[in-house]
């Protein structure tokens, strides 16, 4: 059921995910295609804010911070997974894999490869702070407009 807290959480986490994508682009290797990265991450942040954060408001502010961090981690995981699948498909079009199993296993190797690039203090700080603040704001809105 739509609530004000779910809407606010969805918008905040979409903005935080888009900001994270903007900070992540300079960390990528040169020549990496990033055309859909920002809108894709914003869309995943929107879904994660609605489903993960918005569904768990009404507890305490400490749990709201934890749930906000969980929502951001969920967003980062699925963004990494979808980005790795996209890279694998692009590589498979150049016939770089011997079969479908090798291509499927490459998705996880690509996730690890690009996941290592995320260990940037600014990137982690923005996502952690945005997730915590987003959780607190969603909790506040959930208490104010139930």
Dump pLDDT digits (tens) for 85-109.
Answer: 999 999 999 989 999 999 999 999 9
Among candidates 65, 68, 22, 28, which has minimal Cα distance to 41? 22
Q: How far apart (Å, rounded) are the C-alpha atoms in residues 54 and 71?
A: 10
Residue 146 has pLDDT above 90, yes or no: no
| Tens-place pLDDT, residues 117-131 | 999 999 999 999 999
Residue 33 has pLDDT above 90, yes or no: no
Could you count the other beta carbons within 10 Å of the beta carbon of residue 104? 12
| 28 to 33, 59, 104, 114, 130: CA distances (angstroms) | 9, 38, 22, 8, 22
The rounded percent of the chain whose pLDDT value lies above 70 is 100
Q: How far apart (Å, rounded) are the C-alpha atoms in residues 133 and 57?
A: 13
Two structure tokens written together for 81: 């997974």
């Amino acid at each position: 059921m739509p609530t004000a807290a779910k809407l606010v959480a969805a918008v905040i986490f979409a903005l935080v995910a888009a900001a994270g994508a903007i900070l992540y682009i300079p960390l990528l290797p040169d020549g990496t295609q990033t055309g859909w990265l920002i809108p894709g991450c914003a869309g995943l942040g929107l879904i994660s804010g609605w489903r993960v954060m918005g569904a768990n408001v009404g507890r305490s502010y400490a749990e709201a911070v934890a749930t906000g961090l969980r929502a951001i981690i969920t967003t980062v995981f699925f963004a990494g997974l979808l980005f790795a699948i996209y890279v694998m498909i692009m590589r498979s079009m150049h016939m770089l894999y011997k079969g479908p199993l090798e291509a499927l296993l490459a998705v996880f190797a690509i996730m690890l490869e690009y996941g290592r690039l995320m260990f940037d203090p600014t990137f982690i700080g923005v996502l952690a702070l945005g997730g915590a603040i987003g959780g607190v704001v969603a909790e506040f809105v959930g208490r104010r407009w139930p």
